Amino acid sequence: MAIESSPSSESYVFHRVPDDLRGSMLYPLNQLAGVHPDLYTELRKRYATREDIAALRIPPLGNCLWNDVLHFSPVHPNRLKQALEGSGHALPDGWHRFFQVDTRLLAPADTVIYRSETIFWSGKFDIGDASKQLGRECLPFDPGTLRHFGEIPQAARDYFASVAPGSGLALFLGVPHVLFKGRIDLNLAGVEVIEV
């Protein structure tokens, strides 16, 4: 998929402000094991019923694991909120504060745009094959191309509409991601908290 880039002095990606954030550094889950082991143990429980998701590899980023990267969204949280509300859902409690991160803080060699076109339902895929597919859905990171991924895709909207309000909902299923193999110093210029 060839996407024409356009120069932009400012483009942003978004990450929910974790309820249990400690300090001023945003780490990928697997890095927390060495920094805040108790927090890592607690957060790792979220994968108890979906170990295969945690075992996914990201070939363009050195075949690292799914939890070795920070997961950002190129979609502004207000657009996510509107898409959810259009399907009878609301942002969950604790999902109204997001970090807005200037993409100039992301090293292109450590970052990819993941189109997230294939849905990997836990327990229903082969990890090796799924990792290869994930790699095929990754594009080199170029902040100028993010404008092409700033909307909620129709497939994600259809998924939201298929889930009964009040049921468990995977908020970013089918929504493009920006995957960054690194950590973010939250004190840097270019990082701010926004509310939706």
DSSP structure string for 172-185:
TTTS-EEEESS-EE
What is the pLDDT averaged over residues 62-89? 97
Tens digits of per-residue pLDDT, 17-47? Answer: 999 999 999 999 999 999 999 999 999 999 9
Residue 18 one-letter amino acid: P
Q: Looking at residue 122, what is its pLDDT?
A: 83
Work out the percent of the chain whose per-residue pLDDT is above 70: 95
One-letter amino acid at 4 equals E
Q: Is the separation of the CB atoms in 128 and 145 below 8 Å? A: no
Q: Which residues pair with 179 in a beta bridge?
A: 71, 112
Could you tell me which of 39, 69, 67 has the C-alpha nearest to residue 53? 67
